[in-house]
Amino acid sequence: MRKALTLLAVLAAGPALATGLEIDIAGEGANGTVTVDLFEDVAPNHVARITELAEAGAYDDVVFHRVIDRFMAQTGDVQFGKLGGDMRLAGRGGSDLPDLAAEFSDLSFERGVIGMARSTDPDSANSQFFIMFAPVPGLNGQYTVVGEVTDGMDVVDAIKRGVRGQNGAVMGQPDRMVAVRVID
């Protein structure tokens, strides 16, 4: 009886509101707002992490530290990726929260899809994520898909491409996420 009442309460509440992000991007390349739909039904733990960090302002002023033409733009290093920080370390950090277990799905890494970055350990995603410029089927089932860009892909396309110098530092002034807001 208790389980039946719980199920009825859940059904009566209706569908959960969709969670998303608005990301203001600025720099030498991109300037504008990107709207993202987060897939809480596909990767609930990863979406919870991204929204927690966004609500805390942790993603504000974090640079795009790895941007590869015809592949993806990576950001989200809240430990070492803040604008004005030591860019030699950008991309090597995460947050002070524990790493997440992989939430792989059958969704494909197409243009505009957002995935969680990780090390060689599938269960090492933390705060970093990447936005796809183009389809890359080799990532399918290997990385956690967390959402997709629903508006502002032209802004993503304009993110300044960059290379790392011999010491691993991001060269020049990378574009950054000025502000990241959670939206319903």
Write out pLDDT tens, residues 6-39: 333 333 343 344 589 999 999 999 999 999 999 9
The confidence score (pLDDT) of residue 168 equals 54
pLDDT 10s digits, 99-156: 999 999 999 999 999 999 999 999 999 999 999 999 999 999 999 999 999 999 999 9
Mean pLDDT of 155-163: 88
- Indicate if the pLDDT at residue 54 is higher than 90: yes
Which residues are within 8 A (CB) of 54 and not within 5 positions of it... i.e. 6 or more apart?
21, 180, 181, 182
Nearest 5°: phi and psi at 3? -65, -40
pLDDT band at 88 (very low <50, low <70, confident <90, very high): confident
- Indicate if the pLDDT at residue 177 is higher than 80: yes
Dig out the tokens for 77 from the structure: 């290093």
Q: Report how far residue 102's alpha carbon sits from residue 63's, in angstroms, rounded to the nearest whole number.
A: 24
The reply to whether the predicted model has a pTM over 0.85 is yes
Q: Enumerate the domain spans of the chain.
A: 22-183
What topology is assigned to 22-183 in CATH? Cyclophilin (2.40.100)
pLDDT 10s digits, 62-86: 999 999 999 999 999 999 999 888 8
Dig out the tokens for 142 from the structure: 């290997």
